[in-house]
Amino acid sequence: MELRRMTRKAAKRADILEIWVDSMPAKISPEEILGLADKPLIIVNKSKKEKGDFRGTEEERIIRLAEFVRAGADFVDVSAETPPSLLKMLFEAEHRRKSSGKSTKIIFSHHDFKKTPAPAELKKLRDKAFRAGAHLFKLATFARSYEDNLSILQFLADSRRAGKPCIAHCMGEKGRVSRLLAPIFGSYIIFVALDSHNATAPGQLTLDEYKKISSLLKL
């Protein structure tokens, strides 16, 4: 099984792994996927709108994510634009798991594939997510200019001061700077690809590239 091979390879080098389940057959159980590695897993189930492969309804997509919560996923990533009526299923599953002494962190993610909004708008998106119950907020915007990196880094610094855990970076070739510096400014997680063939977003660094550059810059 290719997924098993790749997961085991990545688990030897990464602290946390992200697995997209939207292109996987529904017959593969959450338990089978969660058992692939002994590292924390972020489970993502993306729709076509989010550049994913899930072809069912929005309700079916969230039901699938809720199954992973009940099965013991460490993190699940859900679009911040998901209707509250559907998010309720995730939080109910998370509440039941929490009552057993364990927990799943729910990440609300927002992607803007065209631009990087102004800092004030980024804060509004973040605050809305936390009011809705998010444990973490993930923000990925497209860098039209190198200055857009500054907006994201400023957003991360402000979020850290506010005590609101966030993940943020710019996509695109001009956004690589934010990916390198995001951890310094408070990003909870930095996303890198196992290799150049497995990048999930434009401008994403590979693990080897990130380690080499961060070592040279003594980050």
pLDDT, one tens digit per residue, over 7-57 is 888 778 888 999 999 988 888 899 999 998 889 999 999 888 887 788 889
Element spanning 91, H or E: helix 84-99
Residue from 46, 110, 138, 169 carrying the catalytic annotation: 138
* pLDDT at residue 84, rounded to an integer: 94
Reported confidence tier of residue 121, pLDDT bands at 50, 70, 90: very high
Banded pLDDT at 88 (limits 50, 70, 90): very high
**What DSSP designation does 218 have?**
T
Is pLDDT at 219 greater than 80 in this prediction?
no
pLDDT (mean) for 68-90: 95
More confident residue, 7 or 64: 64
Of 39, 46, 95, 111, catalytic:
111
Q: If pLDDT is split at 50, 70 and 90, which confidence band does 216 have?
A: confident
pLDDT of residue 50: 80
| pLDDT of amino acid 1 | 63
Q: Is 111 a catalytic residue?
A: yes
pLDDT above 90: residue 182: yes
Q: Ranked by mean pLDDT, which of 100-109, 156-165, 209-218 comes out on top?
A: 156-165
Q: How many contiguous H segments (helices) and E segments (strands) does the chain have?
A: 8, 6
In the chain, what percentage of residues exceed pLDDT 90? 67
- Taking only the tens place, the pLDDT of each residue in 127-151 is 999 999 999 999 999 999 999 999 9
- The residue extents of the domains of the chain are 2-216
Distances (CA, A) of 2 to 5, 112, 187: 5, 31, 30
* Angle ∠(133,135,139) on CA atoms, nearest 5: 100
Class of domain 2-216: alpha beta
Other beta carbons within 10 angstroms of residue 163's beta carbon come to 6
Which of 30, 40, 157 minimizes the C-alpha distance to 168? 157
Write down the pLDDT at residue 211.
87
Burial degree of 208 (CB within 10 A; 0-12, 13-18, 19+)? middle
- 138 carries an active-site annotation: yes
The overall average pLDDT reported for the chain is 91
